[in-house]
Structure 1
Amino acid sequence: MILPIVAYGDPVLRKVCSDIDQEYEGLETLLSNMWDTMYNANGVGLAAPQIGLPIRLFMVDTSPFAEDEDLTVEEREQLAGFKKVFINATIIEETGTNWAFNEGCLSIPDIREDVSRQDTINIRYMDEEFKWHTHTYDGLLARVIQHEYDHIEGILFTDKISSLKKRLLKGKLTNITKGKIQVDYKMRFPMLKKGR
């Protein structure tokens, strides 16, 4: 089932999310609905706060990036096969060179900005079977995970841009909050009684 994506301005996007355990009711259905929602909106990642749930859960499928001809064959192969659920994740360390990449977000449609992030992360998380994993990721894979991880920490990519750019985007962000934007997927706007 496709769920509405929560728009910029909703307080749930600013919450530091809570861990869940194996008793979390309806997890299998929730994961299925989140995949449907993400693919319907042509996303490569989706975090639980984006559908209104303040829990430490996000998912990533980087296969759309595998079409990018600017990447090496090895990078494209890595991105093509990467589809994962992250539960109760903690980034242990971020290392390497800071690099800028143009990011967008399903909760902040029609806004894209260059965001600087370190290129390597070490992350500890549970999969959907609640088994622990610790992995190191780099490059575009690390970036997508960092972006989704920020969501469960109450951080948006617009928090990482310069104050000047934030001021320039203020009107656009206000319009998103009010639902004054055209999107081709279901959204819930904080300043509208009913999402569309």
Structure 2
Amino acid sequence: MIREICKDKTFLAQKAAPATAADLGVAQDLMETLIAHKDGCVGMAANMIGVNKRIIAFENDGEYMVMFNPVIVKQSGAYETDEGCLSLIGTRKTKRHKVIKVQWQNEKFQTRLKTFTGWTAEIIQHEIDHCEGILI
């Protein structure tokens, strides 16, 4: 189900609770909402659709991907950039890293570990910030 985009800064500033297998439906809604906004959005976190769970969805080289409970375990190559967000008006300066290693769980809640670079790494960092309640 395509959900409305949450713009409530107080809600968005809350740290997300861990996701469980009971949240698979939330992930499906998150993916459908992201695809519905694909013309102006490349990634979303569950709090952007009003659910305070640690789930992100994003475009990764033409494919869509969902991560449950993602955590950046290593990062390198810091740089400054400007980012926008569907939940917030305008753009903001932020620090990102060119290379990140992320640990997460897939839809079967199996732990995965992968290194991401460039644009995909930037998207993931933005969405993980959402999970941490960081508004950029």
TM-score (norm 1): 0.63
* Alignment pair present for 1:15 and 2:11: no
The structure with the greater share of residues assigned to helix is 1
1:3 alignment counterpart: 3
2:88 alignment counterpart: 108
Match of 2:36 among 36, 40, 43: 40
Q: Distance in 2 between matches of 1:116 and 1:134?
A: 23
CA RMSD of aligned residues (A): 1.7
| Aligned 8 A contact 2:26 2:46 in 1 | no
Residue by residue over 1:17-67, the C-alpha shift from the partner in whole angstroms, topping out at 9 and shown as x without a partner, is 111222x15x2x3222212211222321110111111111111114xxxxx
Query: Post-superposition, which runs of at least 4 consecutive aligned residues in structure 1 deviate over 3 A?
Result: none
TM-score (norm 2): 0.88
Q: Distance in 2 between matches of 1:152 and 1:113?
A: 18
* Alignment pair present for 1:99 and 2:98: no
Paired residues, number: 134
- Secondary structure at 1:154's aligned position in 2? coil
1:129 alignment counterpart: 108
* Alignment pair present for 1:88 and 2:73: no
- Secondary structure at 2:119's aligned position in 1? helix
| Aligned 8 A contact 2:48 2:87 in 1 | yes
| Unaligned residue ranges in structure 1 (runs of 5+) | 63-78, 158-196
Displacement, 1:8? 4.5
| Aligned 8 A contact 2:129 2:135 in 1 | yes
Q: Distance in 1 between matches of 2:27 and 2:45?
A: 10
| Aligned 8 A contact 2:27 2:46 in 1 | no
| Unaligned residue ranges in structure 2 (runs of 5+) | none
